[in-house]
Structure 1
Amino acid sequence: MKKRNKNGMSKLRTAMCLFMFLAVAFAVVSLSTWNTVREDGTYHGKEEVALYIYTYAKLPSNFVNKAEAGNLSLTEIDGINVGGNEFQNREQLIENPDNLPMTECDIYSAGYNVKNRGAERLVFFNDGSAVFYTPDHYATFRLVTMWDINGTCYIFAILSVACVLGEIVVCLIVVKEKRNLGEELSLSLQIVVASTVILAFSPLVLVLLPVQAVVEYFGRGKVAEITK
Structure 2
Amino acid sequence: MDVYENDGKKGGAYSWGSYDSKPYILMNYKEDLNSMFTLVHELGHSVHSYYSRSSQPYIDAHYKIFVAEVASTLNELLLMEYMLKNAKGKKEKLYILNYHLEQFRTTVYRQTMFAEFEKTIHEKSEAGQALTGEDFSKIYYDLNKKYYGEDIEIDSQIAIEWARVPHFYSNFYVYKYATGFSAAAALSFLIMNDGESAQRRYIEFLKSGGSKYPLDQLRDAGVDMEDKYSVLKALELFEKAVEKLSLEDDFTKR
TM-score normalised over the length of structure 2: 0.24
The structure where helix makes up a greater share of residues is 2
User: TM-score, normalising length from structure 1?
Assistant: 0.26
Structure having the higher Rg: 1
